[in-house]
A and B are shown apart, each in its own frame.
Chain A
């Protein structure tokens, strides 16, 4: 069974940093591209970043480019999102999702940016 479990969220002050993790199981993680998608409270879905299976290709939404870094460790079956210079508008539920089709999603981890 494919499982994606996010962790690392919490309350953080504006301008600070936070690193999210997504632990994958039930499939060969190193064969799949991965994504981060977020959803602000009561709002729609926003694609944040993508990374290819071997980390050769990485893409970001304009809203996070230069502040967020997506990475992965295939030996640990884990996807990461390093978030720096956080803003109030980054407050959201962050999901990891598998490959370009976003065929499997985790349950999400909440990030709240507030002083």
Chain B
């Protein structure tokens, strides 16, 4: 099974900060990686698909990059409504989620 490791598990940042979340795969997943945002009490929402494609309706401050085993989700200017847990998800083989990064406002 492919293991997905997200870091950090908890991130505290200020409004307006540039924020970077990391996701590492235990083996090559090419670009078959998505990012999801889950706010408290809500279902997850797709932000980024196939590593760097922005889902319709998602603000352009969200972007994704990477390939192979190392991937990044970047929020260019953190907003209060971005408080959530963020999950990466690989669908190259035997789909698996990362354990999540909880993002808070400092």
Contact = CB atoms under 8 A, between A and B. Distances in A.
Q: Do A and B come from one complex?
A: yes
Interface of A: 35, 44-47, 50, 59, 61-62, 95, 100-108
Interface size bracket, B side: 20 to 34
Main secondary structure of the interface of A (DSSP, over half): loop
A5 to B, nearest CB: 12
Interface in B36-51: 36, 38, 43-46, 49-50
Given A101-B34, A103-B55, A44 B87 contact: yes
B30 interface: no
A109 B84 CA distance: 21
Interface of B: 1, 34, 36, 38, 43-46, 49-50, 55, 87, 89, 91, 94-100
Contacts of B98: 44
Of B36, B95, B96, chain A has the most CB atoms within 10 Å of the CB of B95
